[in-house]
Amino acid sequence: MEEAVMTTDGQLKHVVVREYVRDLVAGHAPGSPAPSERELVQRFGVARMTVRQALDVLVSEGLLERIPGRGTFVARPRRVATQISGYTEEMSRRGLLAESQTLLARREQAGPGVARALNLTEGDAVIHWRRLRRADAVAVCIEDAYLNEVLLPGFLQAGMPTSLYEALEARGLRPTWVEDSITADTASPEEAAQLEVARGSVVLRHSRRGMVGDKVVEVSRSVYRADRFTMWIQLGDDSEP
């Protein structure tokens, strides 16, 4: 069974071990050794199962790799094509439990920026869905999604889904192409309170425009805690041997 013992600040012990190792190997070259399970058990005074659980997540993320008979090392970047994913799927891929709290869900008139991004006329109806997103019970981001209401009749009346992308997929509208932009910034007082960080903490602002065919179905603006989220971007031609 999972050791669900908390530290004094309320964090699960395997999360503390995991983030320690993540920070320790950040920027290290592929093939660099990671701390052994024995070292981590001694350092944190936890069960070996707790350490293994922490390392399992980093292996599933592709940050570490285990080589039988040798140990655990910083992994080489994976070169696989992946489906465009939303937050829930991304957290699941990283071995984390995703949770969402709806802060706002309503029909609005599109402002100039949202209208332009969704290829609508200013004042057209859009669905605005704001959520506080958590991973392993820790606040990670605030996401504002804007959806073209014409493409999603009855969306608000059907009850808000767990995963936006799964809901879009069920309607044949899952994005097959996205345009993303990422910038560094500092949290506003309201954002800091919701993300449970100090005012002025560094955040990552992620904007996305999701399309299927020639239809723009989603525009989102997310604010991530920079101390809890690393964004991976794969570039290049994977056709090489």
Both ends of the chain: CA-CA distance in Å? 42
pTM of the model: 0.64
Instruction: Please name which of 157, 152, 134, 143 lies closest in space to residue 191, comparing C-alpha atoms.
Output: 143
Give the pLDDT band of residue 9 (cuts 50, 70, 90).
Answer: very low
Residue with the bigger pLDDT between 134 and 159: it is: 134
* pLDDT value of residue 92: 82
| Residue 241 clears pLDDT 70, i.e. is over it | no
Instruction: Please name which of 160, 168, 151 lies closest in space to residue 106, comparing C-alpha atoms.
Output: 160
For 31-90, write each residue's pLDDT tens digit. 899 999 999 999 999 999 999 999 998 988 889 998 877 889 998 866 544 567 788 888
